[in-house]
Structure 1
C-alpha cells in the first residue's frame, strides 16, 4: 500500500508542486484547500477551511469525522497552507490577527494533534512550511512574520515533545516563483528580474526545489534530521545591502 501524505493549501503554487512531487514518488496524495477545485495530482481532495477548523467546534467535529473515515493511515503531514494579510500596527484588526494565527500556526498544531496516532504508527513525520519572514521581514508583515516565527518555534518544541514518536521539521523558503509572487509584483517582469539579482544565486527559487526538500525530509534516509528549520533562500539571508 502506498504511503499517504496530507498536504494543506494544495491548490497554491508550492502546494500543487508538493502534490506532484509526492505523487511522482508513489505516495497517495490527500489534498486540503479552502478553495473548491479538484487538483491534478491528488488521489483525494477535501475542501477545508483551517480558520473555521480552529474557530468552530462543530465544523472541527464534522471534518474530523470525515478524515477518520477517509484517511485511516498517514505517513506525512505537510502544513503548507498560509494566509498573508498585510497591515501595519495602525491598521491591523484583531480579526485579521486571529485568522493569520489560526491558519498559519494553530491549524498546524491542531492537525498534528489530530493525526498524531496515525503518524506515530507509520513512524512518519510532520513538515511545516514556514518562511524567511520568521527571520527577516518587511513593513506591514506584522501578523505573517509573527505567525511564521512562531511556527518555527512550534516545530522545534514538537520535535522535543514527540521524541521517538514522530519527526518534525520546517522549511523556510524565501522568494519562490509562483503566480502569487508575480501577482504581488503586478506581473512586472522587470521587477522580478530585480528580485532575481538581489539573491546571491542570481535567481529566485522554484516550487519544485521546495517540494524536493520536503520529500527528502519525509523519507527515512534523512531520519536523523529532526527539529530543524532549513532555509531555502538562494543566499538572501546572508546579504547586507550597502548604500550605492
Structure 2
C-alpha cells in the first residue's frame, strides 16, 4: 500500500520548484492532491503531469495565499470535490531581500505576509476539516529562521521563517487534543528556478555555497519532499511540533573555508 493512499492533500504553490515536486510525489504515494498557485497555468501543468503518471489532482483557479477569501474558496473546493482534508502542506511563499538600513518597510511587510500570514490563513481555513479527519499540517521553515547570515541580507526572511517555526509549535500544541499533528520542514540551500535566479546567481556572494555545505552539494526539491512525505505519513504518527532541518549539515557548523569545490548535481 502507498504511504498516503486515499489522503486528501492540499498543497499550495504547485506551479514549480518544491511545490511541484511535492504535488508529484504526494500523488505518487496515493494522495488526492489539491494544488494551486498564482501562476495558474504552471499549476495546471503540474496537474497534467500527475494525471500522466496515473495520479489524481485538482487545480482550482489561481490561489492568493495572502487573501483570506481566496484561501477559503480553495479549501472549500477541495472539500466539495473529495469530502474532506487530511493533509495541509503550506508550501507557497515569496520573499524580498534587503539590508535593514535600506529595505523599504513595504518589502518587509510583503515578505511577512507572503511567508507567515499565508501559513496562518491556510491552516485556519482548513482547521475544522483537519480536526474531523485527525489530519496533519506541514509548514515550511528555513535555516534562515535558525541562524543569521553574513552573505545574505534577509531580516524579513529570517523573521518570517523563525515565526513559522514558532507557529508550528503552537499549532502542534493546539492540535494535539484533536489528534492533529503539525510539523515543519526547514530547507537549507535548494537548487530551484528561483534560487538560480537569485542566491545562486554567479554574481551573488552565496553562489559558491555548496563548497561550505558539509555534504558537499546543494539540496534538490526531492530532498525536502522526502522529509515531508515521511512527516505526513503514518510512520510519523508520534511526531508533532518537530522542525526537521534539510540542509546537508549547513546549519550545524561554524563558517570557515570551503571544504571542497562548489558542486551542482
Between 1:145-154 and 1:121-130, the stretch displaced more is 121-130
* Matched residues, number: 237
Q: Is the 8 A contact 1:87 1:141 kept in 2?
A: yes
User: Does residue 1:197 correspond to 2:181, yes or no?
Assistant: no
Q: So what's the TM-score if we normalise by structure 2? A: 0.82
User: 1:33-182 alignment to 2 at 5 Å?
Assistant: 33-37=37-41, 38=44, 39=46, 40-41=49-50, 43-46=57-60, 47-51=62-66, 53-54=67-68, 59=70, 66-67=77-78, 69-70=80-81, 72-138=83-149, 139-165=152-178, 166-182=180-196
Deviation at 1:164, TM superposition (A): 2.8
What SS class does the counterpart of residue 176 from structure 2 fall into?
coil
Equivalent position SS for 2:245: strand
Is 85-94 or 103-112 further displaced after alignment? 85-94
Residues 107 and 17 of structure 1, relative CA distance in 2, 3 Å threshold: same
Would the aligned equivalents of 1:173 and 1:231 in 2 still touch at CA under 8 Å? yes
8 Å Cα contact 1:130/1:173 also seen in 2: yes
CA distance in 2: counterparts of 1:196 and 1:76, whole angstroms: 32
- Displacement, 1:11? 1.4
For the 8 Å contact 1:175–1:205, the answer to whether it is kept is yes
Q: Measure, in 1, the Cα distance between the counterparts of 2:72 and 2:228.
A: 29
Confirm or deny: 8 A CA contact 1:84 1:144 kept in the other structure. Answer: yes
Return the match for 1:219 from 212, 216, 233. 233
Q: Match of 2:32? A: 28
Unpaired runs of 5+ in structure 2? 51-55, 259-265
CA distance in 2, matches of 1:223, 1:202: 32
Contact 2:86 2:135 in 1 (8 A): yes
Q: CA deviation at 1:89?
A: 2.1
| Structure 1: gaps spanning 5 or more residues | none
> 2:111 & 2:222 partners in 1: Cα distance?
26
Runs of 4 or more, structure 1, over 6 Å off, are none
Is the Cα–Cα contact under 8 Å of residues 71 and 121 in structure 2 kept in the other structure? no
Tell me how large the CA RMSD over aligned residues is.
2.3
Aligned equivalents of 1:221 and 1:243: distance in 2?
A: 39
In structure 1, the residue matched to 2:21 is 17
> What do residues 14-56 of structure 1 show as CA deviations (whole Å, max 9, x unaligned)?
11110111011111111121111112237111310122x14xx
